Amino acid sequence: MLDVIGAPSVDALFADVPAGALLSAPIAGLAPHASEMAVERHMKRHASRNLVAGEVPFFLGAGAYRHHIPASVDHLIQRGEFLTAYTPYQPEIAQGTLQVLFEFQTQVARLFGTDIANASMYDGSTACWEAIAMACRVTRRGRAVLSGGLHPHYAGTAATMARFAGDALELLAPELSPEADDAAVIAALDGETACVVVQYPDVFGRIPDLAAIAEAAHARGALLVAVVTDPVMLGLLEAPGALGADIVVGEGQSLGVGLQFGGPYLGLFGCNEKFVRQMPGRLCGETVDADGKRGFVLTLSTREQHIRREKATSNICTNSGLCALAFSIHLSLLGGEGLARMARASHANARALAQALAAIPGVSVLNSAYGEEFTVLLPREARGVVRDLAARGVLGGVALGRLFPGSAGLHHAVVVCTSECTTPQDIAALAEALTEILHGAAA
Amino acid sequence: MSAPNAAGWRPTMVAGTPASTAETSSGDRGLALEEALIFELATNATCGVDFDGDDVAPDPALSRFLRGAAPALPGLSEPEAVRHYTRLSRQNYAIDLGPFPLGSCTMKHNPRLNEKIARLPGFADIHPLAPAQTVQGALAVIAELADWLVALTGMAGVAMTPKAGAHGELCGLLCIRAAHEAMQGPGGQNRRLVLVPESAHGTNPATAAFAGYGVESIPAAADGRVDLAALLARLEGEAAAEVAAVMITNPNTCGLFERDMVAISAAAHAAGAYVYCDGANFNAIVGKVRPGDLGIDAMHINLHKTFSTPHGGGGPGSGPVVLSAALVPFAPLPFVARGADGAMTLIEEENAGEHHPHSFGRMAAFHGQMGMFTRALAYILSHGADGLAQVAEDAVLNANYVLRSLEDVLEAPFAAAGPCMHEALFSDNGLGGGFSTLDIAKGLIDEGFHPMTVYFPLVVHGAMLVEPTETESKAGLDRFIASLRSLALRARAGDDSLKSAPHFAPRRRLDETLAARKPRLVWRED
């Protein structure tokens, strides 16, 4: 090969690198190559030091949800033709990926009750910021109101971006009340507001009245951005789009993707069709080929960075394609009735959990209504309780003190979550461990 | 140098492309199987998933929030689903089928050990908000990968949370902006500009705009590199005080090393600006050159390129950003800290005030792309320091072999001046007869290959950017070169059948104009 190239050595091909910067030996202090079995052994040692959710009583949610994923999902996403393909830039040989994206967009739009949806964002939190940025473009306003029930990581992401983009965010204070903060959201609206951002159900598991908020927002010329962190709940609850939300974003991880310690996840983004040219991210559209056969292509790319550069609607390029495939397969296996059944099963387990926990002296349930997730008030600071539960092999929820370190009034509360995977034994184990921690073994 | 493609022009279907006539009654052709949409196959009553226990009606307290009917989503049984997606998969080209020489994309083989590792329940089935005491192994993986990335790049630290390359760019620019603001007070209005070479990826100017900066383009010189004189002039005098950063890709998108990188960095620093490097092409230099030695302040690393986490038809990616000592204090939350006793701590909002008070904040929920971290770390450990250097050497060797094997039939605008790095750039100048890069690309599809990156970078007319990567053998390269050579010769000979290629793919040229003019983005019954 060097003869064809006409170079004396491989290092000669690095001639443009400044002499002082080209390394002549492997970087000191780094290990040399290793065999497959050695690497596997090393990585398994790391893996063994983590407490696996599926092996213990598990009640964590707060933006990442553990639902049952049918075995065929992971099998199918490992088809090499899906796993090792690139973004479908050559549509003639990428119809598999493109048709999946078209089906995915349709599924998301139907689930959200929006006209259209895009081909995915990185995750729910970044999709939420993109929605705020889009609402500012659409309304030509620069102020957003964020419900106190919005996941604090989502609010934090939005705050970071707004600070640099020069937009004004009004983040409402989180309050431990049985109902969502609809009234405060509506009261914060003004004539400069581009959008209000409301999580549905919220991070405390409460369910806002989206229709009322949408009506108030629209009356002030603002958009309603609804945020769904577990789309499984839309098997039970009315679709946000049907209640008047203009943009609906969400985290799709709970369908098909799994927990994975927080990523990669799947940003969902749906909206009213009239906003299509202001949307971020890739869009797949239907067309025909030279023989008149139906086919699919990436379309409306004049919004995107590779064409529009600094005037693009987003800088996103790589998205969450394989996670979108997993989501779409899982949702196809469920169908609408299956999704509703899954949501009812999760909800039924949440009711059983609420009943068991409320029976413990000093413990009460905050929410007046909830789906699969709700807030529990404890007689003392919750972070220590959660750590004590973990020491007993129970993953017993997310302490609000971890999510809202600046809000001392929330620190004795914990948000707990169930799914169709939760068993009566799991619930009994949490109730028993919590009773012991709060009241001693004799209680 | 060939004429630039200033308009970013890219043709699609040529009007009058003739239809093909051979048909079957089913629409399928042997193993070339068509597949309907799920919405045409199924109703929402079917469910391919089992549930335990009785179906219980919801709490009456929920009644005012309930939806009227189940969502209108089609359901498939397991055999139907397996067949639907398997049939669709066969309409995709993929690395597992052959070379995927997309320039700038680094489509290399994805070792399957990494898939196995990522699926260990100890990594795949752990919750991001589980107490730190229960996820010490996961935090150790993040810390160990961070150590490798820092050592490989010769930088001071790394932000692990960005979710892909463009998100990493944003992270780097926000660190830069926070650093300027810390010196000048909030606003940092003086430094409002980022300088971006015109050959840059589109994400660079888009990111700069999202970080609140104006973008000023720096021209390319005749040798395909940044016009050093123009850049240095821009960094001198009073007007340099408005420059926040120089955003540069190295090796650049023409496949060339920016040999003046050290001088560029020095000039930027002298002007009070920082240097951001787009690390998309790190595969050319991993283990051979440390960006920190070139004066770079921030660079994202696409784990889904250099470190071989699979692209999955468009993502997910992962874009950790290595940072110079000047920028580390501003890195986003959260990150992992290793205690003296070996215990891993997560630095997040709860404890950042004490440990990391200057962070610019959070840019996504949770801790980054853990599923990519496990794969990338397994890849890095498999290769080691020696193997990673060989990755770069073989990638550069392969690209130069492609360049020299084809420069007699395809114009290679910068080849005369010396070797390329890990990608070979050609243009469609000289094909004649109205033949363009599009025809060559579609011809490659008929030859059984995925085309190279086309019409990028914009500084070359009809660019064809070929990145073979190190995982193609010489025999594989020879087959690809033979096909590309035959296509170039067919174009030069005026073989018009190329203009209607592909003829043998699952679809022929698709009408992108129709798709954009009348967008149909969801399936509707009509």
The residues in A 157-196 lying below 8 A from B, measured between CB atoms, are 157, 159-161, 163-166
Q: What is the separation of C-alpha A434 from the centre of its chain, rounded to a whole number of angstroms? A: 29
Strand pairing of A283-288 and A364-365?
unpaired
CA–CA separation, B334 and A157 (whole Å): 12
Lookup: tokens for A1: 């090969």
The pTM for the full model equals 0.97
CB contact under 8 A, B419 and A12: yes
Partners of B334 in the beta sheet?
none
CATH for A55-68+336-439, options being 3.90.1150.10, 3.40.718.10, 3.40.50.300, 3.40.50.10860: 3.90.1150.10
Q: Which residue has the tokens 């009553």?
A: B45
Lookup: tokens for B519: 């967008």
Band of pLDDT at residue B20, cut at 50, 70 and 90: low
- Kindly state whether B183 is in contact with chain A, defined as any CB-CB distance less than 8 angstroms: no
- For residues B110 and B14, the model is more confident at B110
Say if residue A350 is exposed, middle or buried (CB neighbours under 10 Å; 0-12, 13-18, 19+): buried
What's the CA dihedral at A71, A76, A77, A78 to 10 degrees? 100
ipTM of this predicted complex? 0.97
Neighbours of A392 (CB within 10 A): 16
Please tell me the distance in Å from B379's CA to the nearest CA on chain A: 9
A104: nearest Cα among A227, A300, A269 = A269
**Residue B523 and residue B39 in contact, taking contact as beta carbons nearer than 8 Å:** yes
> Is residue B59 one of the residues assigned to a domain?
yes
| CATH fold for the domain made of A71-330 | Aspartate Aminotransferase; domain 2 (3.40.640)
> Looking at beta carbons, which residues of chain B come within 8 Å of A235?
70-71
CA–CA separation, B392 and B283 (whole Å): 6
Which pLDDT tens digit goes with each residue over B279-311? 999 999 999 999 999 999 999 999 999 999 999
Report the residue from B72, B401, B520 with minimal CB separation from A286.
B520
Which pLDDT tens digit goes with each residue over A7-64? 999 999 999 999 899 998 999 899 999 999 999 999 999 999 999 999 999 999 999 9
Report the residue from A239, A314, A386 with minimal CB separation from B131.
A386
Strand pairing of A168-171 and A143-146?
parallel
> Is residue B520 one of the residues assigned to a domain?
no
> Looking at beta carbons, which residues of chain A come within 8 Å of B512?
287, 297, 299
CA–CA separation, A226 and A214 (whole Å): 10
> Which residues lie closer than 8 Å to A156 by C-beta, 6 or more apart?
B333, B349, B361, B362
**B226 by DSSP, 3-state: which?**
strand
The residues in B 46-105 lying below 8 A from A, measured between CB atoms, are 46-49, 51-53, 55-59, 61-62, 65-68, 70-76, 78, 81-82, 84-86, 88-97, 100, 102, 105
Interface test with B, best of A106, A236, A296, A315 (most B CBs within 10 A): A315
CB contact under 8 A, A237 and B450: no
Q: Indicate the DSSP class of residue B217.
A: E
> Which residues lie closer than 8 Å to B298 by C-beta, 6 or more apart?
B171, B172, B173, B175, B176, B274, B275, B276, B277, B321, B322, B323, B324, B327
**Residue A207 and residue A375 in contact, taking contact as beta carbons nearer than 8 Å:** no
pLDDT at B188: 55
Q: Which residue has the tokens 């049985």?
A: A178
Interface test with A, best of B521, B523, B524, B525 (most A CBs within 10 A): B521
User: Is B511 a residue whose pLDDT tops 90?
Assistant: yes
- Kindly state whether B366 is in contact with chain A, defined as any CB-CB distance less than 8 angstroms: yes
Which pLDDT tens digit goes with each residue over A97-149? 999 999 999 999 999 999 999 999 999 999 999 999 999 999 999 999 999 99
The structural domain count of chain B equals 1
Band of pLDDT at residue A373, cut at 50, 70 and 90: very high
Residue A425 parent element (H or E):
helix A424-439
> Which residues lie closer than 8 Å to B312 by C-beta, 6 or more apart?
A77, A82, A83, A85, A321, A322, A323, A325
Lookup: tokens for B374: 């496990």
Please tell me the distance in Å from A363's CA to the nearest CA on chain B: 20
Q: How far is CA A281 from CA A98, B166, B304, B321, in A?
A: 15, 12, 19, 22
CB contact under 8 A, A93 and B91: yes
Which pLDDT tens digit goes with each residue over A195-227? 999 999 999 999 999 999 999 999 999 999 999
User: Is A150 a residue whose pLDDT tops 80?
Assistant: yes
Q: Indicate the DSSP class of residue A194.
A: E
User: Is B80 a residue whose pLDDT tops 80?
Assistant: yes
CB contact under 8 A, A285 and B516: yes
**Residue B120 and residue A47 in contact, taking contact as beta carbons nearer than 8 Å:** yes
User: Is B214 a residue whose pLDDT tops 60?
Assistant: yes
CA–CA separation, B321 and B205 (whole Å): 18
User: Is A310 a residue whose pLDDT tops 90?
Assistant: no
Please tell me the distance in Å from B88's CA to the nearest CA on chain A: 4
Q: Compute the average pLDDT of residues B128-134.
A: 97
CA–CA separation, A86 and B163 (whole Å): 17
**B247 by DSSP, 3-state: which?**
strand
State the count of interchain CB pairs (< 8 A) between A and B.
699
- Kindly state whether A392 is in contact with chain B, defined as any CB-CB distance less than 8 angstroms: no
Q: How far is CA B206 from CA A284, B186, B202, in A?
A: 21, 23, 6
> Looking at beta carbons, which residues of chain A come within 8 Å of B75?
332-338
Q: Which residue has the tokens 């690309």?
A: B441
Residue A329 parent element (H or E):
helix A321-358
pLDDT at B120: 98
Band of pLDDT at residue B45, cut at 50, 70 and 90: confident
Helix (H) and strand (E) counts in chain A:
14, 13
User: Is A166 a residue whose pLDDT tops 90?
Assistant: no
User: Is B3 a residue whose pLDDT tops 80?
Assistant: no
Q: Indicate the DSSP class of residue B20.
A: P
> Looking at beta carbons, which residues of chain B come within 8 Å of A292?
19
Q: Compute the average pLDDT of residues B40-68.
A: 92
Say if residue B31 is exposed, middle or buried (CB neighbours under 10 Å; 0-12, 13-18, 19+): exposed
- For residues B332 and B5, the model is more confident at B332
> Is residue B60 one of the residues assigned to a domain?
yes
By C-alpha distance, the chain B residue nearest A241 is B67
Mutual angle of helices B203-210 and B165-184, in 10-degree steps: 40
CA–CA separation, B456 and A79 (whole Å): 30
B219: nearest Cα among B194, B199, B235 = B199
Please tell me the distance in Å from A221's CA to the nearest CA on chain B: 25
Range with lowest mean pLDDT among A59-73, A318-332, B39-53, B113-127: B39-53
pLDDT at B1: 47
User: Is A303 a residue whose pLDDT tops 90?
Assistant: no
**Residue A377 and residue A416 in contact, taking contact as beta carbons nearer than 8 Å:** no
The residues in A 105-164 lying below 8 A from B, measured between CB atoms, are 105-107, 109-111, 115-117, 119-120, 122-126, 133, 151-154, 156-157, 159-161, 163-164
Which pLDDT tens digit goes with each residue over A225-281? 999 999 999 999 999 999 999 999 999 999 999 999 999 999 999 999 999 999 999
Residue A298 parent element (H or E):
strand A294-299
pLDDT at A443: 45
CA–CA separation, B65 and B482 (whole Å): 64
Q: Which residue has the tokens 């007993």?
A: A392
CB contact under 8 A, B134 and A45: no
Buried-state track A117-132, b at ≥16 Cβ within 10 A, e below 16: bbbbbbbbbbbbbbbb
Q: Indicate the DSSP class of residue A317.
A: -
CA–CA separation, A414 and B414 (whole Å): 62
pLDDT at B7: 61
Residue A187 parent element (H or E):
helix A182-187
**Per-position DSSP letters for B384-453, written without gaps between them:** HHHHHHHHHHHHHHHHHHHHHHHTTTSB-TTGGGS--SS-EEEB-TT--TT--HHHHHHHHHHTT----E
pLDDT at A442: 52
Mutual angle of helices A321-358 and A95-112, in 10-degree steps: 30
Domain span at residue B58 reads 38-89
Question: What are the domain boundaries of chain A?
Answer: 55-68+336-439, 71-330
Neighbours of B32 (CB within 10 A): 13
Q: Compute the average pLDDT of residues B120-136.
A: 98
pLDDT at A305: 84
Q: What is the mean pLDDT of chain A?
A: 96
B455: left (phi over 0), alpha (psi -120 to 50) or beta: left
What's the CA dihedral at A303, A305, A310, A314 to 10 degrees? 70
Buried-state track B298-313, b at ≥16 Cβ within 10 A, e below 16: bbbbbbbbbbbbbbbb
